[in-house]
Structure 1
Amino acid sequence: MTERVTKRKSGRGGEAARGGSPPRLPGLLEALIALGSDLDQHATLQRIVDAATALTGARYGALGVLDPERDRITELYTTGLTAEERRRAGRLPDGHHGVIGLLVDDPRPLRCEDVSADPRACGVPPGHPPMRSFLGVPIRVHEKVFGNLYIADDRSGRFDETDTGVLRVLAAQAGIALGNARLYETARQRERWIEGSAAVTTALLTRTDPTDALRIVAEQARVLAGAAAGVILQPTAEGGMEIVTASTRDDPAGIVGTVIEPGSPVLVQLLGGQPVFIDDSASDPRMTTPVRSRFGPSMMLPLQSGGRLIGTLALPRGHDEPPYSPVERMLATRFASHAALALVLADAQHNRERLAVYEDRDRIARDLHDLVVQRLFATEMMLESTRRRAPVPETDELLARAVDELDSTIQEVRTTIFALQQPPAEVPTTFRGRVLRESGGAAAVLGFQPSVHFTGAVDALVGEPAATDLLAALRGALAAAQRRAGVSAIDVEVDATVRAPTGGAAVRLVVADDGRAENGERPPTVTWQAPL
C-alpha cells in the first residue's frame, strides 16, 4: 500500500519526540479486545474513533461511512467536537471535496502537516473548528472501501508512521465491524422478504376477492421495503397502465385511478417486463403521472408469470428517504416474481372453486327439474284427474285448491332452478335474472325471500324499455312493503301473456304482501302494466 505524505517540517524524530509518551501497543491491544466484545455497530464505530484520538494524541477524530453505490458519506462519528461545534459545522461532508474527497477518490493513507495551508483542502464548512495536522486512512474489507477514519491536530505537532500504523489497525477493525453489520443486515432483510413472500402466498390462497389479493400484495411490499406507498398498476384497454389499488402511510387520496398514458418511456420498460429504478420520481423525465411530485426514490417491478404481464408493483419512498440499495432492489424483484405466481395460483384456485359451485348448482337444478318438478307435475295431474272423475262439490273444491297449490309450487321450483343457473358474482343480463336480483336484494332487508312467479316467455317478450320501467316499479313496491309493519311474505308475479286495453300484448307486475297499512287494513296490491 503506497502512502501519500506531504513535506514534513523538521524537528520530530519519531516516538522519542513525543516527550516520553507511554508505549501505545498495550493500549491498542486493550482497545481491540474491547471493540471485539461489542455487538452494536454504532457503539463500536464510536469507540474506534475515541480510541484513535486517545492512542495518537489527536484532538479531533472522525469516521465516515460511505454509501457503497454513490461514494458519499451517509454517517459520521466524531470525537473532540462539542455539540455546539457539531451544530455549527452543519451538514455532513459530501465526500467529493477537500482532503476527505481525496481519500474517497484514492483510498490510500494520507498525512498532512498543515491542512489549513494545503491547496487540496477545500469545502470546509464555515463553522468547522480550525485544524492543522491531518491523518486519514481508508476502511477496507476485501479491497472494498466502506469508509474512512480521520484524525486531526496532533497535540505534539504532527503525526508519524506509528500513528499511521495505529490508525490502519483501527480502520481494519472498523472494516470488520461494518462488514459484519452489513452482512447481518442483508441476512435480516432476506429473512423478512422471504417471510413476507410466504405470508402473501398464504393470504392469497385463502382469499377469493381479486381486489383483496392485490391490496395484500401492495401492503406487504410497502411494509417490507419501508416505502411511503405500495401501489398496483394494471394494463388498460388503451395500452396504458392504471393504479387499481394503493397502500400508503398517509392519505392515499388521488393515487388510485392515476393512469400512465401509452407511449410513456417508463411504460415501454414495464410492458417489456423490465424493472424500473428511479432515484427521484419528481424530477425523472420518464415519470409523467401527476402524483410523481409526492415521492422520491422508487421501484417499479413487473408482476409477470409464464410470460404474461399481470400488472406492476410500484414502491415509492418519500423525498428525504434514501434510494434503494442493490440488495433491496434484488429482494423486491424476487418478491414481485413470487407475488405474481401467487396471484396466478390464487386466481386459478378461485376459478376452480367457482367452477365447483356452478357444477353443484347445475346438479341441484337438474335434480329439481328431473325429480321434484316431474313428481309435482305428476301429482297435480293425478289430482286433476281425480277431481274430474268424482265431481263432489266439497271434494271438488279441495282438489282444486290442491291443484292450484301444486301449480304455484312448480312455478316456485322453476324460479329456483333458474336462480341456481345464474353466476352469483355477475350482474344478470336476462330480464328474468334482473327481477330475481331485485327481489333477492330486498330479501337482505326483509329477512325472507319474496316469492316470484313468471308467466309466459318473459325473456323473449319483454323488451328493454318495458323491462326498465317494470324493474323501477318493482323496486318501489318492495321498498313500500319494507316500510310496513308485520310483513312476513311478499308475492311477486310477472305475467307476459296479458292483453293491453288496446288489444295488444302487455306485461303485468303484481306485488302483494301480508302486512298492515297505517289504518290497520290490508295494504292494496300493487299492479303495474305496460304494453310490449
Structure 2
Amino acid sequence: MHREGRAAPGLPRLLDAVLSVGTDLELRSTLQHIVDSAVELTGARYGALGVLDADRTRVTDLYTAGLDEAARELIGRLPDGHSGLLGALVREPRPLLVPRIRTDVRSVGFPEGHPAMDSFVGVPVRVDSQVFGNLYLTDKQDGTPFDTDDLSLLRVLAAQAGIAIGNARLYETARLREHWIEGAAAVTTALLHGTSADDALMTVADKARTLSGAAAGIVLQPTGDSGMEIVAAATGPGDDAADFLGTAIEPGSPVLDQLLGGEPVFVDDSATDDRMTTVVRSRFGPSMLLPLQSGGRLVGTLALPRRPGDPPYTGVERLLASQFASQAALAMVLADGREARERLAVFEDRDRIARDLHDLVVQRLFATEMMLESTRRRAANGASAVPGMDDLLGQAVDELDSTIQEVRTAIFALQQPPADAPTTVRGKVLRETAGAGALLGFAPSVHFEGAIDALVTEPVAKQLVAALRGALAAAHRRPGVTSVKVRVDAKAPLPDGREGVRLTVEDDGEATEGGARGTVVTWQSPL
C-alpha cells in the first residue's frame, strides 16, 4: 500500500518534470532546469548536477538548486568529485541511496560554512551511453530520508535528462559550427579582397580569438633558424598585443617539433605544461596551437590561449578550430597568389611602358633628329636666311623638351615599387591619372615642370591631388572626350608675381553649354 500511495501522486509530477527538461535547447539552461526539476519532483531541499571532464574523473562544473549566492560564498570552492559520496559516484557511476550521510563510511564530512545535510540520493546522467555527469539530491523538505521511490523517480528523470542534454549539445554544436563557418567565410572574403599581408595575419588572429573565446589570437611564422616567432597578435580589453610581438619559440622545443610537422598541439595549462617554453606562457591556461598549412606548405601557426582557470577546449571546439585554421591557411595562400598576380600585372604594365618609350618617344626623337638634320643641311648650303628658320629651330627645341619630359615621366613610373603606394607628389599624380585611365579608356598624358617633389609641400600636394581628381572626374562625365592632357608646373608665375605650382587639365570633350570643343581646368597655389 505504501508504494502504491507514493507512486500515484508522484506520477503527474514526474510527467511534468520529464516534459519540462526537454523544452530548452541552450545547454546551460537545460542543465539548470534538470536540477530544479529534480528538486521539485522529489521535494528535496538541495540539488546539484556535476558535469564531468572528458576523462570522467573529476567535476568541472556544478549546477545547484536550494543554495543562494550567500550560501555558495560561504562554502567557497565547490567539490571536484575526488572524495566523499560525490567521488564514490564518479568512480562507480550507478544509483546511490544513503539514508544517513554521517553514518556512511564513504562520507568525509562537510567543509566549514557548508549547510548541514542528512540524507543523500544520486544517479549518473548518461548521454549516448557515456556518463555526462551525476545528479545529486540531499535532504527532503518534510525531514524524511530518501527512499527507493525517490530513487526510481530520479532514475527516470536522469534518463530523460540524458536525452535533453544530448539534444542541447547537438544544437549547441550546430550553432557553434555555424559561427565558425561564418567566421571562416568572413576571413576568406577579407583576404581575397586586397588585404595586405600584415592585415591578413591580424584578420585571422582576431577572428579566431573571437570565435574561440580565447584571451588572445596569435599568429607565429617560421624563422630562418628553424624556430617560430609571433608576428601578429589580437587581444581583448586590458591586454596589449605589443607585449607578444617578437616572442620566439626556440628551435628544439617539443611543441615546435609537432607544429613544424603539421600536428596541432592542445594544452590544458600553458603555465605548467613542460612543452611550452615561451616567456608569456605563465599568463595563460588552456591553449590550442594549430598549424596553418595548405597543400603541404606551412605558412604559420595559430595559437589560441585562454586565461588561467578558464575551461579547457572541448573536442568539438578543437575540431572546429582546426578546420578554421585549414581554411584560413588556404585563404592566405590564395591571397599570396593574388598579390603575385598583381605584381605580375605591374610588371606587364612596365613592359607596356617600355614599348611606349620605344614606339613613341624614340620615333619622336628620330623625327626631331631628321628635322634638325634638314635644317643643318639648309644652313650649310647658305640658306641661313631662309624665312621661318628660327621658328623651325624653335619648334625642334620644343619637341625635344617635350620628349625629355615624357621620358622622365616614364622612367619615374618604372621606378615605382610594385606593391607600395606612392609617397611623392609625382607618384600621387601618376596614380590618379592611371586610375582615371581605367575609366576613360585611355591613359591621360602627364607633363611635369620643375622640381615637383622638392618644391611642393604635403598640404599643397593634397590640394593639388584633390583638384586633379575633380578635373579627371569632370572629364570622364563630359561626352566626346578622346584625350586628356595633365600638366603640373612647380615654377609657374602667379598673379601676385610669386612662383607657385599650377595644375592644368585639358581635354577635347564637348562643352557643357554649347561652347567650343575642348575644356581647360586650371588650379594654382603658392608653394
1:397 to 371, 377, 390: 390
Distance 1:79 1:224 in 2: 31
Counterpart Cα distance in 1 of 2:281 and 2:459:
54
| Partner Cα distance (1:276, 1:343) in 2 | 21
- Equivalent residue number for residue 514 of structure 1: 491
Map of 1:121 onto structure 2: 107
Residue 348 of structure 1 pairs with residue 348 of structure 2: no
CA contact (8 A) 1:204 1:343 kept: yes
1:333 matched to which residue of 2? Answer: 322
SS of residue matched to 1:65: strand
Give the unaligned 5+ runs of structure 2: 434-444, 465-488, 501-527
Of residues 157, 162, 170 in structure 2, which corresponds to 1:175?
A: 162
After superposition, residues 158-197 of structure 1 pair within 5 angstroms as: 158-197=145-184
Counterpart for residue 407 of structure 2: 414
Instruction: Identify the residue that residue 214 of structure 2 maps to in structure 1.
Output: 227
Q: 1:347-397 deviations in whole A, cap 9, x for unaligned?
A: 112211221232133123202312343134313422442365142387333
Q: Distance in 2 between matches of 1:479 and 1:252?
A: 39
Equivalences for 1:14-413 in 2 at 5 Å?
Answer: 15=3, 23-69=9-55, 71-122=57-108, 124-154=110-140, 155=142, 157-250=144-237, 251-386=240-375, 388-389=377-378, 390-392=383-385, 395-413=388-406
Distance 2:458 2:200 in 1: 39
For 1:485 and 1:139, the matched residues in 2 are separated by 75
Compute the displacement of 1:33 (Å): 2.9
- Equivalent position SS for 1:290: coil
Counterpart code for 1:248: T
Alignment check: 8 A CA contact 2:99 2:145 kept: yes
Q: Do the aligned partners of residues 353 and 162 (structure 1) sit closer, same or farther apart at CA in structure 2, a change above 3 Å counting?
A: same
1:480 to 1:227, Cα distance in 2 relative to 1, 3 A: same
User: CA 1:388/1:353 → structure 2, altered by over 3 Å: closer, same or farther?
Assistant: same
Measure, in 2, the Cα distance between the counterparts of 1:290 and 1:95.
Answer: 34
Contact 1:365 1:420 in 2 (8 A): no
Secondary structure at 2:311's aligned position in 1?
coil
In 1, the alpha carbon distance for the partners of 2:454 and 2:265 equals 53
Q: Is the partner of 1:232 in helix, strand or coil?
A: strand
Task: Using the aligned pairs only, state the percent identity.
Answer: 57
**1:399 partner amino acid:** L
Unaligned segments of structure 1, at least 5 residues: 1-12, 428-435, 454-473, 489-511, 524-532
What's the TM-score once normalised by structure 2's chain length?
0.76
- Counterpart-to-counterpart distance in 1, 2:373 and 2:429: 34
Q: How far off is 1:93 after superposition?
A: 1.3
Contact 2:208 2:217 in 1 (8 A): yes
Deviations 1:459-498 (A, max 9, x none): xxxxxxxxxxxxxxx9xx955664999999xxxxxxxxxx
Q: Distance in 2 between matches of 1:437 and 1:39?
A: 57
Q: Deviation at 1:121?
A: 1.3
Between the aligned partners of 1:202 and 1:384, the Cα distance in structure 2 is: 61
More divergent stretch after superposition (142-151 vs 367-376): 367-376
Distance 1:287 1:393, change over 3 A: farther
- Give 1:335's aligned amino acid: F
**Bigger mean CA deviation after superposition, 38-47 or 228-237:** 38-47
Cα distance change of structure 1 residues 478 and 35 upon mapping to structure 2, 3 Å threshold: closer
CA distance 1:355–1:484, change in 2 (3 Å): closer
Q: 1:368 to 1:186 in 2, by over 3 A?
A: same
Verify the 8 A CA contact 2:24 2:168 in the aligned structure 1: no
Cα distance in structure 1, aligned partners of 2:265 and 2:460: 62
Q: Distance in 1 between matches of 2:79 and 2:191?
A: 47
Q: 1:442 to 1:362 in 2, by over 3 A?
A: closer
Q: Distance in 2 between matches of 1:156 and 1:21?
A: 19
**Residues of 2 paired with 1:185 and 1:106: CA distance?**
29
The 1:115–1:357 alpha-carbon spacing in structure 2 relative to 1, beyond 3 Å, is same
Over 3 Å counting, the alpha-carbon distance change for 1:295 and 1:125 in structure 2 is same
Residues of 2 paired with 1:60 and 1:321: CA distance? 27
Over residues 144-174 of structure 1, what are the superposed CA-to-partner deviations in whole Å (9 max), with x where a residue is unaligned?
1111111122445332221111010111122
**Matched residue type, 1:189:** L
- How far off its partner does 1:328 sit? 0.8
Contact 1:384 1:400 in 2 (8 A): no
Judging changes above 3 Å, is the alpha-carbon distance between structure 1 residues 167 and 417 closer, same or farther for their aligned structure 2 residues? same
Judge conservation of contact 2:221–2:231 (CA < 8 Å) in 1.
yes
Contact 2:200–2:332 under 8 Å retained in 1: yes
Cα distance in 2 for residues equivalent to 1:401 and 1:449: 22
Partner Cα distance (1:50, 1:332) in 2: 34
- Indicate the SS of the match to 1:277: strand
1:109–1:136: 8 Å Cα contact kept in structure 2?
yes
Distance 1:51 1:340, change over 3 A: closer
Larger deviation, residues 164-173 vs 275-284: 275-284
Deviation track 1:114-139 (CA, whole Å, cap 9, x = no partner) reads 21232311263211111122111001
Partners in 2 of 1:334 and 1:376 — Cα distance?
62
Amino acid at match of 1:419: F
Q: 2:26, 2:171 within 8 Å by CA — same for their partners in 1?
A: no
TM-score by length of 1: 0.76
Q: Contact 1:134–1:152 at 8 Å: present in 2 too?
A: yes
